[in-house]
Amino acid sequence: MMKQIPFKGACVAIVTPFDETGINFAELGRMIDDQIENHTDAICITGTTGEAATMNDAEHKAAIKFTVEHVAGRVPVIAGTGSNDTTYSIELSRYAESVGVSALLLVTPYYNKCTQAGLVAHYTKIVDSVNIPAILYNVPGRTGVDIKPETYAKLCKHPRIVATKEANGDLSSILKTRKLCGDELAIYSGNDDQTVPILSLGGKGVISVMSNVAPHDTHLICQNYFDGKTDEASRMQIDYCDLIDALFCEVNPIPVKVAMRLMGWNVGELRLPLCEPEPKHLEQIKTALKAHGLLKEEI
């Protein structure tokens, strides 16, 4: 029997707007409303794109609580509560559950570089400590750890491990995971350029950077696929190749935060060690936004 999943379609990995006092909650609220008006299927707060790595504990919790309260049940809210410290991840996950998130997003432990057995122990201890679903997040390019298909096959036996956000870029590995886990583990694309390929392997959607700047069309790529309009979904995937390339011309979330600023959103500065993009990349971002009608005037 298939496990119930937190969402189907496109979930925005939402940018966190900052100001001189910390998080700009007024702007975050406007961004959330715009996402929902443009048919985003879920909101993921305090992820990589939200610069959670540079938030202090109070900010991290405040961002989660505000998002749940502002969304007010309109769409599911997923909270990034992963850490390379299992105990801290449990604390943050319990907090997120207490304020009403729909699910947790748990990145693989970074820097420690644990074994596959360590991954099983880490994730099992976290999900045993809560009563809400968890989405694993496999992004070895950032963490140095890759969840192997055989490890997924063990983890998916847990009733609260319902899905993974796959950003390892290896479709052959994802195919093997699908074979080993079947309906016990839903797969979301963690790379905007692989949304349709992963949907074609039975994926359930994408946790998306592009959705910050093009929420309606990111939703439509998934919805068209689900509605049987696979040619249209593929056409849109290909059409947005230039924008996706621009949004990843430097490490995420540098380009997307700059793109949102160019679109008029008051997202504020990037937090160090992230910094402004090189001039050639700024031009690439502007060109892609213009090509898709997202940059209304020269800035």
Is residue 200 one of the residues assigned to a domain? yes
Backbone angles phi, psi at 124, to 5 degrees: -60, -45
Q: Quick check: helix, strand or coil at residue 112?
A: coil
pLDDT at residue 208, as a whole number: 98
- pLDDT, tens digit, for every residue of 261-299? 999 999 999 999 999 999 999 999 999 999 999 986 654
Spot the catalytic one: 165, 204, 257, 286. Answer: 165
Is residue 298 one of the residues assigned to a domain? no
CA atoms within 13 A on the CB side of 142: 19
Q: Rounded to an integer, what distance in angstroms lies between the CA atom of residue 117 and that of residue 133?
A: 21
Is residue 280 one of the residues assigned to a domain? no
> Domain containing 206 — which CATH number?
3.20.20.70
Question: Over 80: is that where the pLDDT of 52 sits?
Answer: yes
Is residue 252 one of the residues assigned to a domain? no
Find the domain containing 31 and state its range: 9-237
Is residue 44 one of the residues assigned to a domain? yes
Q: What is the mean pLDDT of the chain?
A: 96
Specify the amino acid at residue 192: D
Closest CA relative to residue 6, chosen from 42, 35, 40: 42
Q: Please tell me the pTM assigned to this model.
A: 0.95
Please report which confidence band the pLDDT of residue 3 belongs to, taking 50, 70 and 90 as the band edges.
confident
Spot the catalytic one: 123, 137, 188, 225. Answer: 137
Question: Over 50: is that where the pLDDT of 101 sits?
Answer: yes
Would residue 165 show up in a list of annotated catalytic residues for this protein?
yes
Q: Which segments within the chain are labelled E, that is strand?
A: 9-13, 18-19, 22-23, 42-45, 77-80, 103-107, 134-138, 161-166, 186-189, 205-208
Question: Over 70: is that where the pLDDT of 1 sits?
Answer: no
How many domains, in total, are found in the chain? 1
Q: Rounded to an integer, what distance in angstroms lies between the CA atom of residue 94 and that of residue 180?
A: 30
Q: Rounded to an integer, what distance in angstroms lies between the CA atom of residue 95 and that of residue 81?
A: 9
Would residue 95 show up in a list of annotated catalytic residues for this protein?
no
